[in-house]
Amino acid sequence: MKRRDFVGGLAAAAGLAACAQEENDCQDTGATSAETFEWSCVTSWPPKFPGLGMAPENLATRIEAASGGRLKIRVYGGGELVPALEVFDAVSRGTVEMGHGASYYHKGKVDAAQFFTAIPFGMTNMELNGWLYYGGGLELYRELYEPFNLVPLPTGNTGVQMGGWFNREINSIDDLKGLKMRIPGLGGEVLRRAGGTPVTLPGAEIFTALQTGAIDATEWVGPYNDASFGLHKAARYYYYPGWQEPGPGLETIINTTAWESLPPDLQEIVNVTAQAITTDMAAEYTHGNAMSLTQLEADPNVEIRPFPDEVLRLLRSITKEVVDELMAADPASAKIGKAYFEFLEKASANSRLSELAFLRARDL
C-alpha cells in the first residue's frame, strides 16, 4: 500500500508540475483540464498474469488515482478483445486507445522495434533504461512509431531471463539441430540459423504446446513466471543464462490521436506512472524470481543447467550476423542499431567494472 501511495503521489505531483510549467494553458483551458477520459487497453498477456499481466493493470489503477479519476483505463488480457499478438495493429488503427506488450512482437511490421525489447547478448535492464531515458533511445523509439500513429512509453522490464525449458539435454551444438522451440524476436532467427525451428506463441499457449510435444523447448521469462505457468511440469531441463533476452523492455503504446486529446498534466501523469511501473516491475521480478527459484531447485524433477560455452559462443556469433544483416537491409534499424551499440559498448565497460566484478567478488 505504501508503494502504491508513493507512485500515485509521484504521478500526481508530476501532473501539478506540468500544470505549473504550462500555467497559461492550465488557466486558459480549465474546461478541457477538467474533462474526463475513458480508454481501453489491450495486452499481449494472460489476464492479470503475475508481473507481465499486472503491469498494465497497475498502470491503469495508478493513473486513475493520480488523475483523480479523470483518466480511467479498462484493461483487456490477450484474446479478450483482440488476439495477444495483434495489439500493435489495434492501437495503430484506433480500435482502442492503448496497448501493452513487447516491441519484438512487431517483427515483420517494423523490424527496428526489436531494439527496444531485447537484442540477444545486448543490454541489461539498467543499461537499456540508461539508453532510453538519457542516451537518446526514447526519441528514436518515438520517431520510429510516429508513422504508425503511435506514441510508445517504456513500461516494464523483467531483467535477465532464463534460457528456457527443454525436453532434451543441450550438451553440444549438435543438440540444437532440429530443436523446435518457442522463441520470438531476433533470438528465433538465431536459433533457426543454428539448426533449430523457432515458433512464436502467445504465453497462454506455451504449456500445452510443450506438454503435447508440439514444441521441444520454450523460453518464457524466468522462475517467477515460468513456475506460474507450470512449465516445470512439462519439461525437465531448465537452462541459463537467457542469452536471447538479457533485459527485455516492455512497452505501452498509445494511439496518437488519443494521446493528443489529453491535456498536458494528464500526459505527464501517464509518462511518470509508466516509468514508475518499470521500476516497480524490476523489484517484483527480483523478489519473485528469488522465491520461485528456491522452489524449483528443491524439485527433484527439475534439473537446472548452464548452456555449454560452445553453444553460447555459436549463438553469439550468429547473433552478430543476424543483427548486421538487419541493419544493412533496413535504414531505421541501421540508425537505431548504431546508437544502441555505441551506448552498449560504453555501458559494457562500466558493467564489467561494477556489477560483474562485484558479483564475482561476492561469490569468492
**Per-residue model confidence as pLDDT tens for the chain (364 residues):** 344 454 445 545 454 444 444 444 444 444 346 899 999 999 999 999 999 999 999 999 999 999 999 999 999 999 999 999 999 999 999 999 999 999 999 999 999 999 999 999 999 999 999 999 999 999 999 999 999 999 999 999 999 999 999 999 999 999 999 999 999 989 999 999 999 999 999 988 999 999 999 999 999 999 999 999 999 999 999 999 999 999 999 999 999 999 999 999 999 999 999 999 999 999 999 999 999 999 999 999 999 999 999 999 999 999 999 999 999 999 999 999 999 999 999 999 999 999 999 999 999 9
For the chain, give percent helix, strand, coil, nearest 5: 60, 15, 30
Let me know if residue 79 belongs to a domain.
yes
Which residue(s) pair with 303 in the sheet?
A: 237
The grid coordinates of residue 308 equal 555449454
pLDDT tens sequence across 86-140: 999 999 999 999 999 999 999 999 999 999 999 999 999 999 999 999 999 999 9
CATH number of the domain at 80, please. Answer: 3.40.190.170
Let me know if residue 189 belongs to a domain.
no
Let me know if residue 311 belongs to a domain.
no
From start to end of the chain, where are the E strands?
Answer: 37-43, 71-76, 98-101, 150-157, 164-166, 180-182, 197-199, 217-218, 237-240, 249-255, 303-306
- Which one, of 62, 42, 29, lies nearest residue 272 by Cα? 62
- Which residues constitute the domain of residue 110? 2-157+248-286
Q: Which residues contact 308 (CB under 8 A, 6 or more apart)?
A: 170, 171, 172
Domain total in the chain: 1
Alpha-carbon span 206 to 226, nearest angstrom: 10
Let me know if residue 291 belongs to a domain.
no
- Which one, of 248, 249, 251, 246, lies nearest residue 274 by Cα? 251
Let me know if residue 107 belongs to a domain.
yes
Let me know if residue 234 belongs to a domain.
no
The interaxial angle of helices 264-297 and 54-66, nearest 10 deg, is 150
Asked if 67 and 34 count as a contact pair (C-beta separation under 8 A), the reply is: no
Let me know if residue 143 belongs to a domain.
yes
Alpha-carbon span 45 to 83, nearest angstrom: 10
Let me know if residue 354 belongs to a domain.
no
Instruction: Please give the order of strands across the beta sheet that includes 150-157.
Output: 71-76, 37-43, 98-101, 249-255, 150-157
Write the DSSP symbol of residue 308. P
Asked if 195 and 179 count as a contact pair (C-beta separation under 8 A), the reply is: yes
**What three-state secondary structure class fits 88?**
helix
Alpha-carbon span 244 to 225, nearest angstrom: 17
Q: How many CB atoms lie within 10 A of CB 303?
A: 14
